[in-house]
Structures are given as C-alpha cells and as structure tokens.
A and B are shown apart, each in its own frame.
Chain A
Amino acid sequence: MSAAPPRRLGLALLGTEICVLFQRKRTWAMLLALAAVPVLIAIAVRISSSPRPGRGPAFLDQVSQNGLFVAVTGLVVAIPLFLPLTVGVVAGDTIAGEASNGMLRYLLIAPAGRVRLLWVKYVAAAVFCVAATLTVVIAGLLIGLILFPVGDVTLLSGDTITVAEAIPRFLAIAAYVTVSLLGLSAIGLFFSTLTDVPVGAMAATIVLAVVSQILGALPQLDWLHPWLFSTYWLGFTDILRQPVSWESFGDNALLQGGYILVFGALAYGRFLTKDILS
C-alpha cells in the first residue's frame, strides 16, 4: 500500500499546504469578496432608511439598532451561495489542481503518500472553511462597530444579553457555520479526485450545493430533507435563542460527519486506485 510510513502524520506537509493556500492570491481574493458581503450590507442599511421588520434578509431590521447584527445578517446572506462558492473552489482544487499543473506526481514521489496527501488536503480545505466564516463574522463586527451603535444584543427569544455575553455566541455561530461547510468540502475533495480539470471539480461542487438547497426547498421531497447536507445551514440562528438550543448544532455535526465519512471513503477509494497520468 502507498500509505505513508507511520513515523509522521504529515504535520510538516500540512503546515506547508496551509501556507501555500494562503500564499495564493486567489485565496485572498475570495476572502476579500466574502468580507465585502457584510460591508455592503452595512453600507446599504446606513444610506437607506431603516428597513421595516419582516423585509429583506433575516436580522436586517436589527442592524441599524445594533451593529453586531451585521455579522449575523452577513452570514445569512453568505451561506446559500457565497460561502459554498469559495469552499467549492478550494475543495474542488485540492487534488485536481495539483494534477492539472503536474505537481501531483512530484508530491506522490516525494513521497507524500496518497492517504496522507488526501488527509492533508482535506484539513487545509477545512482550515479555509474556518477562515472564510471568520472573515464574514469579523468583517461584519468591524463594519458594524464603525457604522452603527453597538450595545446589548436582542436574541430571537426576545431576551437581551450584554456584548460580553454575545461574543462567545458569535464564535459559536462561526463554529456552526464552519462545521456546516465540512460536508461540502468532503464532496469537493471527492470530485477533485475524479478529474484533472480543477474547474470541473469546483463547478460540480458548487452546483451540488445549489441543487441541495433547491431540493431542500421542495416540500414534495421532505423525506429527503434530513439527508441533505444543506439542511441545517441556516440553523445557526438556534444559537441566538435563550437558552441556546444546541440540538441543531449536534444534528448538523452528525450529518456533516456522515458526509465526511462517506465522501472521504469515496475519495480514498478513488484516489488510491487512480492512475496519475498528469
């Protein structure tokens, strides 16, 4: 088997992979685009009259009263398309990107080991998920601080908590959204092992994210809904209830874990049998 010798887990390789990811201009361009989402929302709210309750994306009406809600509104807007888009690009590029520039053969004879490379690439994609989510949250908090008053946070239940109590909740939301994207990353990793054309794997991943959400909106398919990886994507708002409802967090983590296992196993099967012809 081409597995790495058990001496090292590949932490050195993981380190360089993460560095390489963040040395790419493309990565920074995507993070900038993500940061633009809450910034544009905040500016739009600032220059327009404050929106009426129940109009526009959820929480938008809260923004003018409390700048911290820019981060939450940013996530609500970014989750259906922008976050899956960037995650699809990174995850779809993992293996196919290396194959397309021929680097894959040199990594394998270095030897990175196929299992280790797959694992390292997945972890690097997961790190990007963290970075992408934090970018939206932090950009939202910062622009909210600049443009709006900041004060006690009103939860969905109508209770009010202090900013100090709210910060851990925002971090929990970032964790929730990151976990939400891990299943999609595993799907992207699998697609990436199928082809030497990274754009193909990226497009397939992004299209699947959109399709999953469309299926999730069709009531005729409600038997399928619990199995869709996008089912709990907007459930992060459960963290804004009083007391926090962790059930959707747990369900989401379990579902994403299932996707990671299934698509991780598929990627493993595919990549270990793959002829590297690039």
Chain B
Amino acid sequence: MSRSSSLGRWVPAIAIPALIVTGALVVPLQASASSDLPDQTPRQLLEFAASANVPALSGTIDQTSNLGLPDLSALGSVAGGAGGSGSSGSGGTGLSSVIDLATGSHTARVFLDGGNARVQVMDHLAERDVIRTADSAWFYSSGDQTAVHVALPAHDGTGDTARTAPDGTWTPQVLAEKFLSEADVSTSVTVGEDTTVAGRSAYTLVLTPKDTATLIASVTIAIDSETGLPLSVAVDAGADSPALEVAFSQLTIGAPDAALFDFTPPAGTTVTEQALPTKAEIQAKKDGSQKDGSQKDGATRNGAEASGKSAASAAEQPTVIGTGWATIVSVPASAVPAEMLTSPLLDTLTQPVDGGRVFSTAVANVLLTTDGRVFAGSVPVDALLAAAAGR
C-alpha cells in the first residue's frame, strides 16, 4: 500500500516533463501544419505576390544561417570590435560583418510606413539601427555610440521606380509572366504546401534549379495569403534544415508609431555626416559601368575563353562563367583586395585544396587559387577547380 502510494507521488514529476517535451515537439508541428487555402497556380501566386501592397507594417524578422561554417562569432566580434573602435565604426569591417551574418542567427525588427522605414538589428546588449525618411537616412550603432547621417535629395515624386517598366507600368500580370518566362529556362516553379508563418497562413512558392550542377536544392518563399507579402525565404542546400532562412516571426500590418521615424542621435554620440555623390559623379560612374557591361557581355558568352585571355583585355574586371544557378564568378588576381588575402581569418576559414584554398559553405564555394585569382559560385569545389584550370 505504502509502496504504491509513494510511487503515485512521483506521477507529476514524470508527467510534467513528458507533457513539456510532447508540447515542445508537437506545437511547432501544428504551428507549421498546412492551413487549407484555395489552390493556386504558380502564375496566380506570382501575380498575387506582385500585386502586394503593404505600405505600413511592423514585424520581427529572424535570420538563421546553417552554412556549415565553424561558428566564429567570438573571433568575428574580436575582429569587429577592433575594427569598430579603430576605423569608421559604421558596423565593423567588411569581412567580420560578413562572417557575422553568415554564421549564427540574427533578429531584426522592421517598421515601415510609406516612404519611412526603420530596421533594428537586435544584437546582444546592443542594437544597430537604420532609419530612412524622405529626406535623410541615419545609421546608428549603440555598441560604439556612433551615428552616420546621409541627407537625401527630396523625392522627385515618380514613386517606386522598380515598379515602372520602360514602356509603361509593370502590372502584376506582366511581372509574373516575365518572371516565369525568364525563370523557365533554369528553374521549375511550383506551388508547395500551404504553411503558417508568424501566425499567418501562407502559400509557398518553390523554386527548384533544373541544373544539378548547383549546390542549391531549392528556394522556398512563403507568401501571405491575405496580402501577398513574402513572409519567409528559405534556401535549401539538401541538409535537414535550410542553409539560409529569413522569416517574419511576428508581423502586424498597420502604421507603427510615427515617432519611430523621428530620429535624433542621443547626446554623446559621434556623428559623421556623409554626402551623397553628386549627379555628375553618378553619371561618370554610369558611363564607366556601361563600358564594362559590354565587355562583360562578351565574357559571359564565351566565358572560358574570356577568363583565359583575361590578363590582356579585362584585367581588372570579374568575369562570369556559365549561366543560371551554376554561374561561376571569376576575379583576376589584380582585382582581389589585399586585405582579404592577408586577413588572419583566412587560415581559419579556408581549407587547402590542390591548387589553392577553399572557403566552403553549404550554398556556395569560393576558391582562392595559388596565383591569387578568386572563383566563386553555388557549385561544388570541383567545378571551381575546373574553371580555374580553364577547362
């Protein structure tokens, strides 16, 4: 009798952890369980997404990377910290920022209201903010208490240029059609299982490369069933969890507090004023890049050839080999920044291969050849080595 009743007293101690574990396993399953939305064709879905018009929202975005990189957050923050206090300080040095983004996960809050936008990257015990209004943009970093201010020229009122086609207006239908016809060569576009993101039911659009030479297995985009807003993008490289994922974890449609866009740097902040390039500078740059563009076009068509004789004509310019998902970008030795090759992180991040060193992730590989050239692409290392050998 006493034996059985004493066993009975352990029931909660067994039942509660069991319940919690069950809950932890089952609730996410149910959360992502497909909601039953009306069937859509890829084309209808693209039209719907292209017609999305959400001028105002607040939300939280989670970004997770599973690129198969060693976690260098400690190393990265050391490098970033040193760079931050030494140089400009608008978010650390390039390399450590990239490493920071490529490893681990990040959370950012986004506030949109018409032309105003604010993004807050919620770091550990710190925050980086970008606030954009009609006439200015602020970059603020609480970690080193610095701010950068850029005055923007007043809007010319033409609205969102991305939506305007040269011959008129991009209607959602036109956009969808154009995307499908262009994608069709390399990609099969399908509609996946309905899902739930940030508590909202969503359609999914799955882009699967037809080219098996690429590392990327598929790209999945969740599209809000109410508004057509993309709620998440996941890049799958064949592993259990997506190699890269960006998703809303929380989303509210509607105007956020207007005070959020009214930014004044706090007392004690080091403020740097940065001027935008003038019209003339922009024009000059444009001319240059158009010239490059024509050369690039040529290089693209017969890539291997171009890279072979790159030393002669396009010594300074990256060239592109192949098309679609398996495209490889090749950078000649003279164009590779010295900082990259001398960085102490290089040895940690790369593995030696026959003919150079490889920086390898789940979705892309970068080959640094012994003669200083760089080849990068969403392709296996062998493909990069082949490209480097000029095959």
* A–B direct touch in complex (beta carbons closer than 8 A): yes
Name A residues whose Cβ lies closer than 8 Å to a Cβ of B. Answer: 1, 52-54, 58-59, 61-62, 65, 76, 152, 154, 156-160, 219-220, 222, 234, 237-238, 241-243, 245, 247, 258, 261-262, 264-266, 268-270, 272-273
Q: How far is the CA of A54 from the CA of B86 in the complex (A)?
A: 11
Q: Per DSSP, are chain B's interface residues mostly helix, strand or loop, or mixed?
A: mixed
Q: How far is the CB of B285 from chain A (nearest CB, A)?
A: 32
In the complex, the chain A residue whose C-beta lies closest to that of B147 is: A158
Q: How far is the CA of A269 from the CA of B11 in the complex (A)?
A: 8
In the complex, the chain A residue whose C-beta lies closest to that of B126 is: A156
With a CB–CB cut-off of 8 A, which chain A residues contact B147? 158
Within 8 A of A (CB), among B1-24: 5-6, 9-17, 20
Asked if A52 and B122 make an inter-chain contact with CB atoms under 8 angstroms apart, the answer reads no
Asked if A158 and B269 make an inter-chain contact with CB atoms under 8 angstroms apart, the answer reads yes
Asked if A157 and B127 make an inter-chain contact with CB atoms under 8 angstroms apart, the answer reads yes
Asked if A234 and B124 make an inter-chain contact with CB atoms under 8 angstroms apart, the answer reads yes
From B85, B263, B268, contact of A154 by CB (8 A): B268
Within 8 A of A (CB), among B176-219: none
Q: How far is the CA of A158 from the CA of B85 in the complex (A)?
A: 18
Top-4 shortest CB links A-B:
A219-B71, A269-B13, A154-B266, A58-B125
From B13, B17, B125, B266, contact of A160 by CB (8 A): B266
Asked if B263 and A159 make an inter-chain contact with CB atoms under 8 angstroms apart, the answer reads yes
From B12, B74, B269, contact of A268 by CB (8 A): B12
In the complex, the chain A residue whose C-beta lies closest to that of B270 is: A53
With a CB–CB cut-off of 8 A, which chain A residues contact B15? 265
From A158, A237, A270, contact of B263 by CB (8 A): A158
Asked if A54 and B109 make an inter-chain contact with CB atoms under 8 angstroms apart, the answer reads no
> Does B120 count as interface, using CB distance less than 8 angstroms?
yes
Q: Which of A59, A61, A154, A160 has the most CB of B within 10 A?
A: A154
Other A-B pairs beyond A222-B71, A262-B16, A269-B12, 7, CB < 8 Å? A65-B268, A157-B120, A158-B266, A160-B264, A243-B260, A258-B20, A265-B16
Q: How far is the CB of A200 from chain B (nearest CB, A)?
A: 21
Number of contacting residues on B, CB 8 A? 46
Asked if A76 and B125 make an inter-chain contact with CB atoms under 8 angstroms apart, the answer reads yes
> Does B73 count as interface, using CB distance less than 8 angstroms?
yes
> Does B42 count as interface, using CB distance less than 8 angstroms?
no
Q: Give 11 CB contacts A-B under 8 Å.
A: A61-B145, A157-B129, A158-B263, A160-B266, A219-B104, A245-B60, A247-B60, A247-B250, A261-B20, A268-B12, A269-B11
Known: A54-B84, A154-B268, A268-B13. A241 touches B20 (CB 8 A): no
In the complex, the chain A residue whose C-beta lies closest to that of B9 is: A272
Q: How far is the CB of A179 from chain B (nearest CB, A)?
A: 18
Q: How far is the CA of A261 from the CA of B14 in the complex (A)?
A: 11
With a CB–CB cut-off of 8 A, which chain A residues contact B122? 238, 241, 245
Q: How far is the CB of A235 from chain B (nearest CB, A)?
A: 9
> Does B323 count as interface, using CB distance less than 8 angstroms?
no
Q: How far is the CB of B87 from chain A (nearest CB, A)?
A: 13
Q: How far is the CA of A270 from the CA of B10 in the complex (A)?
A: 7
Known: A65-B268, A157-B129, A269-B10. A245 touches B109 (CB 8 A): yes
With a CB–CB cut-off of 8 A, which chain A residues contact B127? 156-158, 241
Q: How far is the CB of B102 from chain A (nearest CB, A)?
A: 14
> Does B144 count as interface, using CB distance less than 8 angstroms?
yes
Known: A157-B127, A258-B20. A241 touches B264 (CB 8 A): no
Q: How far is the CB of A57 from chain B (nearest CB, A)?
A: 9
In the complex, the chain B residue whose C-beta lies closest to that of A261 is: B16
Q: How far is the CB of B289 from chain A (nearest CB, A)?
A: 35
Q: How far is the CA of A188 from the CA of B225 in the complex (A)?
A: 48
In the complex, the chain A residue whose C-beta lies closest to that of B259 is: A159
Asked if A262 and B126 make an inter-chain contact with CB atoms under 8 angstroms apart, the answer reads no
> Does B91 count as interface, using CB distance less than 8 angstroms?
no
Q: How far is the CA of A21 from the CA of B268 in the complex (A)?
A: 44
With a CB–CB cut-off of 8 A, which chain B residues contact A59? 125
Asked if A273 and B129 make an inter-chain contact with CB atoms under 8 angstroms apart, the answer reads no
Q: How far is the CA of A181 from the CA of B120 in the complex (A)?
A: 28
Q: How far is the CA of A154 from the CA of B140 in the complex (A)?
A: 12
Asked if A269 and B9 make an inter-chain contact with CB atoms under 8 angstroms apart, the answer reads yes
With a CB–CB cut-off of 8 A, which chain A residues contact B265? 158
From B12, B74, B269, contact of A265 by CB (8 A): B12
Q: How far is the CB of B69 from chain A (nearest CB, A)?
A: 11
Proximity bits, B75-115, A CB within 8 Å = 1, else 0:
00000010011000000000000000000100001000000
